[in-house]
Amino acid sequence: MSNANNENTVSESTQIDRKHYGPTFPILLGALGAWTLYLSAQLPDFIQRGRQLPGPRYFPTILGIFFCVAAVVELVRYLRQRRNRTVPAPSIRQRAFAVMQDWGSHSVVLILASLIVFVPLIRYVGFIAGGIVFSALVMLRLRAKWYNAIILSVVVVLVIAVVFGMLFRVPLPRGAFGIAL
């Protein structure tokens, strides 16, 4: 019975921790609202026969105001949540440190970075070579065995190249070496 109670307490506290987001979300929301309002103000008026009508800035301005109000609501929520917490919330430095130590966070960053590099890579070496290198590296990062990574990468890239390149006539990048199906 006591074990079950302990389990419940643990799961509840985990849930509270998971639901604790920190101030980043309201800050980003407020910045988005302010930015939208600033950019909307640069848009021209829409005047017809001397009458001011809802023009290009009308709808984005409404959305900008909404984001600013939503940011205030989210900030109040965050402050209330912080006040009601029994366990002190981790500081931004602690959070940043935890993210930097986390293997999963590293993987996310590496996948995104390799996707960004993937675009110029396939432009230069072509889709087939670039795709094989990209997928093999990502699979190795995701703890696949090296031979599985290579075999699967070759098979998947060739299948995609056949489907898109030959079947649907998509001009997949050939690269400097001119290799494409």
Among 126, 128, 139, 175, binds other proteins (CB under 8 A): 139
45 sits in which H/E element: none
| Dihedral in degrees, nearest 10, Cα atoms 63, 66, 67, 68 | 130
Gyration radius of the chain's alpha carbons: 26
Distance, C-alpha 63 to centroid of its chain: 22
What's the residue count for the chain?
A: 181
| Distance of closest approach, residue 83 Cβ to other proteins, in angstroms | 19
User: Under the criterion CB under 8 A, does residue 96 sit at the interface with other proteins?
Assistant: no
Cα 9 to Cα 159: distance, rounded to the nearest angstrom: 50
User: Under the criterion CB under 8 A, does residue 83 sit at the interface with other proteins?
Assistant: no
Output the CA torsion sign for 39, 75, 21, 63: negative
Closer residue to other proteins (CB): 2 or 181: 181
User: Under the criterion CB under 8 A, does residue 124 sit at the interface with other proteins?
Assistant: no
User: Under the criterion CB under 8 A, does residue 172 sit at the interface with other proteins?
Assistant: yes
Question: In the complex, which residues of this chain contact other proteins (CB under 8 A)?
Answer: 19, 21, 25, 29, 32, 36, 39, 43-44, 46, 51-56, 58-60, 63, 66-67, 70, 73, 102-105, 107-108, 111-112, 115-116, 118-119, 123, 127, 131, 134-135, 138-139, 142-144, 148, 152-153, 156-157, 160, 163-164, 168-172
